Structures are given as C-alpha cells and as structure tokens.
Chain A
Amino acid sequence: MTDRDRGTCMAESKRPREPFAPWDRRELPGLFDVEETARRIGHYKWMETKLFEALGGWVATVPELDVKLRLGTHCYHHAFHAELFHKRLPELREMKPERLTVPPNEELVAFVNAMTEPEASGQTIEKLVGVYRVLLPATIAAYTYHRNGTSRITDMPTIRILEMALKDEYEDWCDGEMLIQSMIETPEEVDRAAAHQAKLQKLLLAAGGIAGPGSIGDPYVDVVED
C-alpha cells in the first residue's frame, strides 16, 4: 500500500454516516412514559405470580400424568416471567417492586379467584380452560400491544423481556390447547369447557384485561359532538 492509498483510506473512514442506518426504522417516542410502563409491569408481575402459584398448586390435584408434568413445567415459565418483571421495576425508578406488584382492580382479583377455584380431580378441563383459553390469550394480547407500542429505543429492555415471555406464552398456549382438545371427548364436555370459559371471560372483561382497562389500547376514534 502506497502513502497515497493509505491517505485515501483514512479519508474514506471519516465520511460521515447517519446514526440510524437506512434500514433502521425505530422511532421516538413510544406510547408509554416511565410511570405507565412501571404500572403495567407491576400488574404483569402480579398476574404471572398468581398464575405460577395456581399451576404449582394444581399439580397435586390432577390425575392425568401428562397434564401434571406440563403444569410443573409451565409453573416455572411464569415464575421466570415474574422474576424478569420484578427485576425491571427498579430500572423504572420503583425501588420497592412490591409496591407496584398489585392487581389493576378488584375485578381482576375476582377473575383470578374464580380461575383458581377448581380443585377436584375431575375438574382438569376447567383448570386448563381457565388458563389456556382465557388467561393466556389475554396475556399474549396485552404483551403484544405493549411490545408494539413502546419505543424500540428508549424501552428496549422491556421489549426484550416481553418477547422472551411471549415466546413461552405462545408455546404454552399451544401445549394447553392440545391438552384440552385431547381431554374433551363428549358433547357434554364441550359444553362444560364453553360454560367455564364464558364465565371467566366475563369476569376478565369486567377487569378490562390483565393490566386493567386499556390493556390492549383503545381502537375507537373520539368523535367530537356537535
């Protein structure tokens, strides 16, 4: 390499480039400020904690061996999510995470109580329906809304957590749905599953979702009255 070549290379390395490459379409700002993000994450942690407690508690109550083992595995997945949210809260200026580890409203408490109520060994369908046909779809919806709405620059740590959690939620949802389908063998069991799902869905509707009203945003347009 000659001195002239070397000079050219050095000059080219100093050509200015944009901080965001042409293909990088991340934008500012996001939908949620720090306080709103912490509020939502506190609710997620509360919900994931209630869920892993319930799954753990049910293990002893279900006679079906494959269900028993899946519940044990999924119990840990949700504890892991709760732990990730717990660790995120101090990064959002909440130094006492337990302060925000609360349900958004009493209606969600009523939903969780109804979801965890079945105990008898003959109620595996109800246990599975509550988690896999009602709660997990609502959780996936809330996490997806949050992931899509928050800033991919300022709040990337939350997005990373939500995406890890979503991966588990999708797989567990599929596992649970397959277990339910394999357990429903009669029209009466279809009715049982549907009735329990409707009961819980109404309670969750009253709560507004796992983070309360606005869990998945508001799609309606505000119309100004004349």
Chain B
Amino acid sequence: MRKIFPAEELARDSRFIRQSNEARFSDPRGARVGGGSAASTKLTPEQANGPDRARALMHGIFVGEIQALEGAGRTCFDFEVGEDVPFELKLDMARQCWDEARHCEISVALADHMGTELGEYAENTTLYEAACNPDPVLRLTGVNRALEGLAIDVFSTMKEFGNLAGDPVLEFCEDWMLADEVTHVKMGSDWLRSLTAKDPERRSKALEFQRVVDKLFSFSGFRGDDEDSPIKLTRQFRSLAGFTDDEVDDIADLAREAKAEAATA
C-alpha cells in the first residue's frame, strides 16, 4: 500500500457520485438548496426550503464523515513513529477513526430518518484533499482545526435545527457528535502547539494552511459569525477546543471576506 493515497482514488460503491469543486460551486441547484445565494439566511425548519436544506446538509455531513474517517486512517499509516510523528499522535488518530466511523453510522441513520437516500446529493473530495498534506503538522492543522472546527459549527446548527423542529432524535445525535468534534479539534490544537513549540516557521505555515482551508470552507460566507449565517460560528465550543478569541475573530473575518468576494464575483 502506498503512502499518501490520492483523493481521486478514494474507494466508493456505485451509489456515490463524485463532483469537482468547480461543478459544485457553479451548480445553481446547490445555491437553491443552500437558500438562494451566498447571502442566504439562517437554517430554520419553518422556511419553505428548510427541510430540504437540512436534508442536503445531513447528506453532506455523512460524506464528510467518511472522508474524515479516511483522512484520520491515512494519518495512522502515512507517517512513521519517531521519524515523523510521536506514537501518541497516531493513537489520537486511531481514536478519531473510531469516532468518525460512529459518526458515519449516526449520520447515515439520521439521513434515512430525514428521508434522504445515500447518493441523492453529490460528493466532492475537498475535505480529504486537506488530509493529503505531506507535513503531519499542516495536515492536522488543516483537518483537525479547520475542518473539524467547521464540524463543530455544523453540528451546533443541526442540533439547534433539531430543537426548533421538535426532533429529539436529531438533537440528541448531533449533541453526541458535537462532543466528539470538540475533542478532535482540541487534538489538533494541542498537537499544533506541541509539535511546533520550537519551530515558529512551521507553526506559521500550518496556521496559514488552516486559513486557506477555513476560507475555502466558509463557502463564500455560508459559515460565519453573523446572526443570519446559515451555519453559525460556534464560539463557546471552539474555546473548549483550544481556540483563542482572536483566532475565532480571524475565522469570522475570513468568512466576511469570502462573502464579500462572492457578492462582487
């Protein structure tokens, strides 16, 4: 088995449909489900397209969890203990594999619960691509801080959606996944700090990589700190996961930048 497994070769059964980033962001149906435009509104059940948006989001969560599982698994395999990473980092990644496998089980069951079939929406592999970075510090920063951080925001949003919709199953499951995500983000924060304690240049590169991923996954402002953001930046849980207030402010600014760029595009 090779080290660094390419995203285009991720193994899937026949139900999955792969979509490029270009196709995804230029697909008008995505914007419709997303709420109409980058300046779309907060996800709530009483909106006419609220349930559809929630179903699409749940499918997105499911494929995201598969890729998160694959990414954590590859981090177990791609690096050598001692030469590249400490043994304990690999143990964390193996733990994350188990968590993500459970998240896949939870989210595919929730998708079914919400009336969505596997493969109803397309998958793109941007998340896994961040998990292909050959530097383990950059990989963990991009995946565990940026993408798992996004998962905190998404799960908080879905938990609130479940509460507003009177769906205790959805609310219950999202809350459990949220607890795991906080743990994963904290792993990323802790490893970033310990592995770059004596290497400020590497830390700076890792944080820059995180900014790139964070901006990309702001989805043109879809995830942000404003009240009407469809997916709201979750300050409380990010703080538990090792983010400083300044770091959260920075992500909020990136989201506003992305939103402004999308509006003028």
Identify the A interface with B (CB < 8 A): 49, 52-65, 68-73, 75-80, 82-83, 86, 98, 116-119, 121
Q: Across the interface, which residues of B come within 8 angstroms of A78, CB to CB?
A: 94
B12 touches A56 (CB 8 A): no
Q: A119 touching B81 by the CB < 8 A rule?
A: no
Q: A79 vs B100: C-alpha distance in the bound complex, in angstroms?
A: 15
Distance of A52 Cα from B98 Cα, bound (Å): 11
> Is B91 within 8 A of A79, CB to CB?
yes
> Roughly how many angstroms separate A86 CA and B93 CA in the complex, as a whole number?
17
Q: Which of B33-41, B72-80, B165-173, B252-260 contacts A (4 or more CB under 8 A)?
A: B72-80
Name A52's closest neighbour in chain B (CB-CB). Answer: B94
Residues of A within 8 A of B93 (CB): 56
From known contacts A52-B94, A64-B13, A73-B101, infer whether A119 and B76 are also in contact, taking CB-CB under 8 Å.
no
Nearest CB in chain B to that of A59: its residue: B73
* Neighbouring B residues of A72 by C-beta, 8 Å: 69, 72-73, 97-98, 100-101, 104
Q: Is the CB of A60 within 8 A of B76?
A: no
B interface list, Cβ under 8 A from A = 1-2, 5, 9-13, 66, 69-70, 72-78, 81-82, 87, 90-91, 93-95, 97-98, 100-102, 104-105, 128
B258 to chain A, nearest CB (A): 29
Q: In the complex, what distance in Å separates the CA atom of A86 from the CA atom of B94?
A: 15
**Nearest CB of B to A47, in Å:** 14
Q: How far is the CA of A78 from the CA of B69 in the complex (A)?
A: 16
* Residue contact B1 to A119, C-beta cutoff 8 Å: yes
Q: State whether B11 touches A61 (Cβ < 8 A).
A: yes
Contact assessment for B94 and A79 in the assembled complex, using a CB-CB cutoff below 8 Å: yes
The interface residues of chain B lying within 8 Å CB-to-CB of A54 are: 1, 77
Considering residues B1, B9, B87, B91, which has the most beta carbons from chain A within 10 angstroms of its beta carbon?
B1
CA separation between A207 and B10, bound complex, in Å?
34
Q: Which residues of the other chain, A, contact B90 by a CB distance below 8 angstroms?
A: 49, 52-53, 79
Given A76-B97, A79-B95, A118-B1, answer yes or no on A57-B78 (Cβ-Cβ < 8 Å): yes
**In whole angstroms, what is the CA distance A118 to B13 when docked?**
18
Shortest Cβ gap from A162 to chain B (Å): 19
**Chain A residue contacts of B98, Cβ below 8 A:** 72-73, 75-77
- A79 and B11 form a contact (CB under 8 A): no
Residues from chain A with Cβ under 8 Å of B87 in the complex? 49, 82, 86, 98
B96 to chain A, nearest CB (A): 8
B11 touches A63 (CB 8 A): yes
Q: 7 closest pairs, A vs B, by CB?
A: A57-B77, A56-B76, A79-B94, A72-B101, A76-B98, A56-B73, A59-B73
- Check if B76 sits within 8 Å of A98, measured CB to CB: no
Tell me the smallest distance from the CB of B89 to a CB of chain A, in Å.
Answer: 11
Contact A60 B13 (CB under 8 A): no
The answer on a CB contact under 8 Å between A59 and B97 is yes
Determine which residue in A56, A77, A86 has the highest number of CB atoms from chain B within 10 A of its CB, and name it. Answer: A56
